Amino acid sequence: MSEAQPARLDLIGVGQCSIDHVCSVEGIPPLGGKDAMLAYELLPGGQIATAVLAAVRLGLRAAYVGSVGSDPQADLALAPLAAAGVDLDGVRRVPGASTRMAVILVDRASGERTILGYRDPRLRLQPDEVPRARIARAGCLLVDADDPAASLLAAQTARAAGVPVVADLDAVSEASLALLPVIDFPLVSRSFAEQLGMDGRVRSGLRRMVEAGARMAVATLGDRGCLAREGDREIAGPGFAITPRDTTGAGDVFHAGFAAGLLDGLTGPDLLRFANAAAALSCRGLGAQGGLPTRAELDAFLRRHEPAAWRDPESQ
């Protein structure tokens, strides 16, 4: 008799996990300056780990695949995932290595953040650590470009099996460019789209991603929401008017909302509205994971709120 296969997952995330040193400040000091912090917290984070946790809060069955060190911070980073029931069979603990860390400066007045990250090179995930059989049976795959070879193999595996691939891409690099041809839904930062377009325009970057094979390319725009391109169609996704406590992790939660909406069958403006609302709600709490919404909270928010007026990213 053959062994029973693990249950099919809605989402598998491959990539970054982190410990965040969250420093609340009254404005960012100039270079060479000195100032006191208003508050300090040591919190779990990392873009893929946060997105996976957010997806579970939205009702998905999910697994996280990535690497942590052998230090006490590894348990702190993984604890929220374990408590939420995230499948952690694909987590690699690297002897002697330190878990990825980031220093995050959060401006108390605006909630905007500045991030400085460090990752021990020994944490890089290798292709032979990618759970290809599980990915081929999943509902959706989410990757970043932190582990280039592993993310590429995971995306190729998903694409071959007809599993939609979502990517979190922050910076144009050799690794992110290699990923683009096998990504169905690149969800990128504004700066990524502007860089990729080579003319400083978000729209040019979105066009290049679609030409590379994306079903829908999306650039996130902070409080303006997002702008997407699907074939020859441009889709505006205005954000929601909120007073943020901390915007850290909002993009990660946008990715989770996008994956959840996609698996629910949402498309076009409805899909972007769903993801934008999830991101907006996440700004209620401190740190990447402090304000993750439940599905009930998200549905209630969508019933009560309409997005703000659209503000084109390429206009004043």
What are the pLDDT digits (tens) for 219-248? 999 889 999 999 999 999 999 998 888 888
Least confident stretch, 2-6, 187-191, 298-302: 2-6
pLDDT at 197: 92
Is CATH 3.40.1190.20 the right assignment for the domain spanning 11-28+37-304? yes
* Local confidence band at 2 (pLDDT 50, 70, 90 cut-offs): very low
> What single letter denotes the amino acid at residue 165?
V
pLDDT tens figures, 22-58: 898 988 778 888 888 999 999 999 999 999 999 999 9
Angle between helix axes 268-282 and 250-263 (nearest 10 degrees) is: 140
pLDDT in tens, 285-294: 888 898 999 9
Contact 171, 191 (CB under 8 A): yes
* Average pLDDT over all residues of the chain: 93
How far is the C-alpha of 292 from the C-alpha of 220, rounded, in Å?
Answer: 18
Q: What is the pLDDT of residue 193?
A: 97
pLDDT value, residue 6: 65
85: left (phi over 0), alpha (psi -120 to 50) or beta: left
Residues 134-182 pLDDT 10s? 999 999 999 999 999 999 999 999 999 999 999 999 999 999 999 999 9
Q: At 295, is the pLDDT very low, low, confident or very high (cuts 50, 70, 90)?
A: very high
Take residue 187 and report the two structure tokens written for it.
């969800």
Model confidence pLDDT, tens digit, residues 113-131: 888 999 999 999 999 999 9
Backbone angles phi, psi at 208, to 5 degrees: -65, -35
Show me where the domains of the chain are located.
11-28+37-304
- Predicted pLDDT at 151: 97
DSSP 128: G
Residues recorded for the chain? 316
- Looking at residue 5, its pLDDT comes to 63
pLDDT for residue 114: 87
Q: What is the DSSP string of 159-185?
A: HHHT--EEEEE-S--HHHHHHGGG-SE
Q: What pLDDT sits at residue 4?
A: 55
Backbone angles phi, psi at 10, to 5 degrees: -75, -40
CA distance 38 to 87: 36
Our CA angle for 244, 245, 250, nearest 5°, is 65
The answer, yes or no, to whether residue 1 has pLDDT greater than 80, is no
